[in-house]
Every structure is written in C-alpha cells, then in structure tokens.
Amino acid sequence: VLVVDLPPGTGDVQLTLIQKTPLDGAVIVSTPQEVALADARRGHALFQKVGVPTLGLIENMTGPIFGKGGAEAEAGRLGVAYLGDVPLDASVREGGDAGAPVVIADPEGEVALRFRAFAATLAGALGL
C-alpha cells in the first residue's frame, strides 16, 4: 500500500499518478467545508472515469473551527464508504514536526486509534 498526499483538485499531478501507477483504489480526504468537498467530488469523478474505485472518504480537521459532517454527507451522496474523521488536534502537527507521528508518539490516543482504524478498514477492503 502506497499512501500519497496529493494537492487538492484534478490537475497534472493527479492525472500523471493515475496514468503511470496501477491503483487498486483511492481514499479521498477532505475537510468539512464546501470548497474542499467540491474538490473531493471532482477527485471521485476522475477516479471513476479511469476505473479506480473510491474506497472511502475521510473527513480531516473536524471540530469547532471547521465543523463536522460535510464529508460524511458527501460520501452518502457519492455512494462511497465514510471511513470516519480526524479531529483538528495540535498533536498531529507537533508529532510530525518532531519526527514522531502521533501513532508512535501517542499510540493509544484518540487520533492514533482513528488512523489505525482507517488502516484496518482499508486493509480489509483490499484483502490484505
């Protein structure tokens, strides 16, 4: 499994990756705001067009600042699995900046447990 964090949209980077790499599926990550969800819709349409299944949608940076629920509703509209959300939590940035991802720095923390749940769900969907 290769995880690639792509910029939003459906530009040259995404097209090149899809054309040059055999893909078993894609996971789309979006924040709850409509502008981000519009990018998620375009990404899903692009993957559909080239025959790459969307394995699910994850909502990132949820909480009082950005809200919650937009990606879950969008997953329902798109007919794809909603895999869950990741709350806006300073520990994610702090761990990344320190070179200790949250799943290592705080393996029993809420965010780490969510990341592991995503991984387990995706592994099951891919038959791993």
- Looking at residue 6, what is its pLDDT? 78
pLDDT tens track, the chain, 128 positions: 778 877 777 788 888 888 888 999 999 999 999 999 999 999 999 999 999 999 999 999 999 999 999 999 999 999 999 999 999 999 999 999 999 999 999 999 999 999 999 999 999 999 99
**According to the 3-state scheme, what is the secondary structure of 86-126?**
EECCHHHHHHHHHCCCHHHHCCCCHHHHHHHHHHHHHHHHC
- Looking at residue 8, what is its pLDDT? 76
Check if the beta carbon of residue 24 is closer than 8 Å to that of residue 1. no
Q: How far apart are the first and last CA of the chain?
A: 9
Token representation of residue 88: 């806006």
- Looking at residue 69, what is its pLDDT? 95
- Looking at residue 120, what is its pLDDT? 96
pTM of this prediction?
Answer: 0.90
- The number of beta carbons lying within 10 Å of the beta carbon of residue 42 is 16
Alpha-carbon Rg of the chain, whole angstroms? 15
- Looking at residue 76, what is its pLDDT? 97
